[in-house]
Amino acid sequence: MKRFGKRMAGILCVVALATLSFGGMAWGALKVGMVTDAGTIDDKSFNQGTWEGVLQAEKELGVQIKYLKPGGTTEADYLKEIGNLYDAGYRFIITPGFKFETTIFKAQNRYTKGKFVILDGAPHKGDYTPEVNENTVAIFFAEHEAGFMAGLATALQLKEGSVGFVGGMEIPPVQKFNWGFQQGVAFANENYGTEIVMSPENVLYQGTFSDVAAGQQITASMYDRGVKAVFAAAGGVGVGVINEAKTRAAAGKEVWVVGVDVDQYADGIYQGEKSIILTSAVKRIDHAAFDMIKAEQEGAFPGGQTLVFNATNEGVGIPEKNPNLREDVQQIADEIFAKLQTGEITVSAERGDLIK
């Protein structure tokens, strides 16, 4: 199925008609900057996904690009690098993650001739009341829909047994991945006869996005309890989850990991082309970054708006290719995704009666 081919065409068509470029720049002259969050530019998660969209813009749109990695993760650290980019002429700046919310609130007011895109967050002054200026776009994702698709595919592939979830910080995007995943498992159990269990002891939030060792230890305990697959929405903690699975798979054990944010299949390769990544709950972070850059060049930057990338506009889902899923599982997943797009099936963004 062509999951992400639309590339936000619907949203951008609307904003092109409704919004004029804020201080637009000539085609090809745009200088695009990015400030990373904690971790590296190749973190296999949010930093990397965002940067891949920027790299695509460099290749396809001819923009100049640069990223800066702050010395720390405080608002002051972030603002310093935004200022450095701005002073160097990079007036279109993309930031990945909710930790930039108060930073972008200040930056959009301080650098009024700049443009800002914040992914997975909205600017606020510390009171969590969003204030999105005309030179800023806030973008969110329907993580619960991505989690649902991953949970459905996991249950259909495994058919029976126990699965687990390892989250990083217990914040809304991570929680929605968890809740959606559980709904996907429940949907498969109710509609396709699978018998997959998620017990409370196998649903954990580690508390950070950086403790690789903790991720590995938590996952080892889950596998020791008989868990077959672990959904990791945890940044660097998730690297530990993948490491543990790769070690066990290399020793002949059958264990799986469900990736997050980007297609993590390559990260799970442990022998030849064999990977422990069953599938991934994908947020098209790269598309979000690219589409906003393209909108700016076309004079259609949707300044002042908050956008949501979801199943309807193909902003979330699972990868088009999932080598570890059977053909019949992929077919069902495609059919269910189409129903998510039309609204025939809906996924709750709330916890409801699910496991904590």
Q: Is the pLDDT of residue 317 over 70?
A: yes
Break the chain into its structural domains and give their ranges: 9-141+284-309, 143-283+316-342
Q: 9-141+284-309 belongs to which CATH class?
A: alpha beta
Does 152 or 236 have the greater pLDDT score? 152
- Which of 3.40.640.10, 3.20.20.370, 3.40.50.2300, 3.40.50.300 would CATH assign to domain 143-283+316-342? 3.40.50.2300
Pairing of strands 115-119, 92-96: parallel
Region 172-188: what's the mean pLDDT?
96
Between 6-10, 64-68, 328-332, 335-339, the lowest mean confidence (pLDDT) is in 6-10
Region 238-251: what's the mean pLDDT?
97
Region 79-98: what's the mean pLDDT?
97
* Reported confidence tier of residue 192, pLDDT bands at 50, 70, 90: very high
Region 237-256: what's the mean pLDDT?
97
Q: Would 9-141+284-309 and 143-283+316-342 be classified into the same CATH topology? A: yes
Report pLDDT for 18.
37
* Reported confidence tier of residue 43, pLDDT bands at 50, 70, 90: confident
